[in-house]
């Protein structure tokens, strides 16, 4: 199979000229991010706003009112999607043990679970939570990973379908109206700001924000039977409405700080960081549970010039954990590092040859970002401290 050059600019509506935010390390190539005329990104604006302007006591009162509205005596009153990672664990633990809710936690299985991820999920459940684990048909999961890698340049897409839709299925099946996610990624990390001042997420935005415009049913035209696609899909809009399903972001009610969530989950839910840093970045405690997600970050580096270190440093700068110069040094050191540890396993899992993999990768290198040199591919405009 030939992999024709992708028009990345058009597909993701990217600016042709690369610019970096003056305050963090994010570039204007992140889809849907907005830069102001002073060169500051929307995520940095929101970060200043949330630390200086939001009345968090008032927001906590809103949270308690919401909980009171949904509280049930002898039944689950909310759903918390949680993989056993630091963020969902923080949300579930706060809701249950600080705000007296009775959450049902819901996990969509990683594509290829890691040992540390399994241990953390086990520790989380053992720290006092009921959990439903959704594990889809392994054959279909691999086929979808194959197709998503070939046609979307994102092996992680099947996981994202389930992660987004499975909690809604459980909400409808169990008649639970309230779903609690952690942060609104669009607002916290740069993207669509329309929900910056709202605690809820519109279900109709899912295709646009999380599925690159292509929902699970798209793959039927590549031969995946409808019944096998079902587990990845949301319930019907009618069922969601009839259940009066509401999706809320915990980050609207409580200041969201991933590093603080990490300390909290170590303390309260038995979370363990990895013994070594994740490939492509310097951190040891975020996105640990799937062998495939390194490839999701790697494709982001290829498509947008934004690797895992760029994403990690950008929010750690906003959270005042590191300086911008420290962030830039880390990017120079780790961003775009090839995820070699799980490469062979990924190829076998997705039934893609090494040669095909590299052809797919190169088909997503946009000329406005990449230059082919005698030493291999180089970013035309890497971030620099001046
Ligand atoms: Zn910024």
Rounded CA-CA distance 347/326 in Å is 34
User: What distance in angstroms lies between residue 112's CA and the mean position of ligand 1's atoms?
Assistant: 33
User: What distance in angstroms lies between residue 73's CA and the mean position of ligand 1's atoms?
Assistant: 44
User: What distance in angstroms lies between residue 21's CA and the mean position of ligand 1's atoms?
Assistant: 5
Task: Looking at the chain, list the stretches that DSSP marks H as alpha helix, in order from N- to C-terminal side.
Answer: 8-12, 42-52, 56-70, 86-93, 115-126, 138-152, 157-174, 185-189, 206-210, 226-229, 237-242, 250-253, 258-269, 293-304, 308-318, 324-334, 343-350, 354-363
Rounded CA-CA distance 81/106 in Å is 5
The pLDDT of residue 286 is: 81
User: What distance in angstroms lies between residue 110's CA and the mean position of ligand 1's atoms?
Assistant: 30
Segment 2-11 shows an average pLDDT of: 92
Segment 34-46 shows an average pLDDT of: 95
Q: Is the per-residue pLDDT at 153 higher than 80? A: yes
User: What distance in angstroms lies between residue 25's CA and the mean position of ligand 1's atoms?
Assistant: 6
Rounded CA-CA distance 291/26 in Å is 25
- Average pLDDT value over all residues in the chain: 92
Rounded CA-CA distance 276/146 in Å is 28
The pLDDT of residue 55 is: 95
Cβ-based neighbours of 203, under 8 Å, separated by 6 or more = 168, 234, 237, 240, 245, 247
Q: Is the per-residue pLDDT at 193 higher than 90? A: no
Identify the band that residue 206 occupies on the pLDDT scale cut at 50, 70 and 90. low
User: What distance in angstroms lies between residue 60's CA and the mean position of ligand 1's atoms?
Assistant: 27
User: What distance in angstroms lies between residue 353's CA and the mean position of ligand 1's atoms?
Assistant: 38
pLDDT tens-digit map of 49-107: 999 999 999 999 999 999 999 999 899 999 999 998 999 999 999 999 999 999 999 99
User: What distance in angstroms lies between residue 238's CA and the mean position of ligand 1's atoms?
Assistant: 39
The pLDDT of residue 186 is: 78
Residue closest to 250 by CA, chosen among 376, 119, 90, 131: 90
User: What distance in angstroms lies between residue 142's CA and the mean position of ligand 1's atoms?
Assistant: 36
User: What distance in angstroms lies between residue 23's CA and the mean position of ligand 1's atoms?
Assistant: 5
Three-state secondary-structure class, residue 80? strand
Q: Is the per-residue pLDDT at 386 higher than 80? A: no
Tell me which of 195 and 98 has the higher pLDDT: 98
pLDDT tens-digit map of 127-136: 999 999 999 9
User: What distance in angstroms lies between residue 262's CA and the mean position of ligand 1's atoms?
Assistant: 23
User: What distance in angstroms lies between residue 33's CA and the mean position of ligand 1's atoms?
Assistant: 10
Segment 188-193 shows an average pLDDT of: 76
User: What distance in angstroms lies between residue 328's CA and the mean position of ligand 1's atoms?
Assistant: 13
User: What distance in angstroms lies between residue 40's CA and the mean position of ligand 1's atoms?
Assistant: 5
Structure tokens at 145: 């990973």
User: What distance in angstroms lies between residue 35's CA and the mean position of ligand 1's atoms?
Assistant: 8
User: What distance in angstroms lies between residue 334's CA and the mean position of ligand 1's atoms?
Assistant: 20
pLDDT tens-digit map of 294-342: 999 999 999 999 999 999 999 999 999 999 999 999 999 999 999 999 9
User: What distance in angstroms lies between residue 38's CA and the mean position of ligand 1's atoms?
Assistant: 11
User: What distance in angstroms lies between residue 193's CA and the mean position of ligand 1's atoms?
Assistant: 14
pTM of the full structure: 0.90
User: What distance in angstroms lies between residue 19's CA and the mean position of ligand 1's atoms?
Assistant: 11
Identify the band that residue 145 occupies on the pLDDT scale cut at 50, 70 and 90. very high
pLDDT tens-digit map of 272-288: 988 889 899 998 888 88
β-pair type (376-379, 370-373): antiparallel
Q: Is the per-residue pLDDT at 205 higher than 70? A: no
Rounded CA-CA distance 123/131 in Å is 12
Identify the band that residue 212 occupies on the pLDDT scale cut at 50, 70 and 90. low
User: What distance in angstroms lies between residue 125's CA and the mean position of ligand 1's atoms?
Assistant: 36
Counting beta carbons within 10 angstroms of the beta carbon of residue 340, is it exposed (0 to 12), middle (13 to 18) or buried (19 or more)?
exposed
Three-state secondary-structure class, residue 35? strand
Segment 99-123 shows an average pLDDT of: 95
Structure tokens at 285: 């405690």
User: What distance in angstroms lies between residue 155's CA and the mean position of ligand 1's atoms?
Assistant: 27
């Amino acid at each position: 199979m030939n992999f024709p050059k992708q028009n990345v600019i058009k597909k993701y509506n990217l600016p042709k000229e690369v610019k970096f935010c003056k305050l963090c390390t994010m570039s204007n190539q992140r889809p849907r991010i907005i830069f102001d005329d002073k060169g500051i990104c929307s995520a940095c604006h929101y970060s200043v706003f949330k630390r200086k302007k939001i009345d968090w006591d008032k927001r906590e009162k809103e949270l308690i009112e919401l909980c009171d509205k949904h509280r049930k005596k002898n039944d689950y009153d909310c759903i918390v999607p949680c993989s056993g990672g630091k963020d969902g664990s923080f949300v579930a633990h706060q809701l249950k043990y600080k705000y007296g809710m009775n959450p049902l936690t819901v996990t969509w299985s990683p594509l290829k679970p890691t040992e540390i991820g399994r241990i953390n999920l086990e520790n989380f459940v053992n720290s006092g939570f009921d959990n439903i684990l959704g594990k889809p048909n392994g054959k279909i999961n691999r086929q979808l990973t194959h197709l998503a890698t070939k046609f979307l340049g994102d092996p992680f897409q099947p996981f994202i379908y389930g992660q987004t839709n499975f909690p809604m299925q459980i909400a409808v099946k169990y008649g639970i109206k309230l779903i609690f996610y952690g942060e609104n990624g669009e607002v916290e990390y740069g993207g669509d700001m329309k929900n910056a001042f709202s605690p809820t997420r519109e279900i109709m935005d899912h295709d646009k924000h999380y599925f690159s415009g292509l929902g699970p049913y798209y793959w039927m035209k590549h031969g995946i039977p409808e019944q096998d696609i079902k587990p990845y899909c949301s319930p019907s809009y009618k069922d969601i409405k009839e259940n009066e399903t509401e999706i809320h972001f915990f980050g609207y009610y409580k200041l969201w700080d991933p590093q603080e969530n990490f300390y909290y989950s170590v303390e309260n839910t038995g979370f363990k960081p990895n013994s070594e840093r994740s490939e492509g970045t310097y951190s040891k405690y975020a996105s640990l549970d799937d062998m495939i997600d390194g490839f999701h970050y790697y494709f982001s580096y290829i498509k947008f010039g934004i690797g895992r270190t760029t994403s990690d440093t950008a929010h750690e700068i906003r959270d005042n954990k590191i300086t911008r110069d420290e962030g830039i040094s880390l990017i120079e050191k780790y961003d775009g590092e090839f995820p070699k540890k799980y490469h062979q396993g990924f190829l076998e899992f997705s039934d893609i040859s090494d040669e095909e993999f590299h052809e797919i990768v190169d088909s997503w290198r946009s000329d406005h970002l990449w230059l082919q040199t005698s030493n291999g591919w180089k970013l035309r405009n890497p971030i620099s401290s001046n």
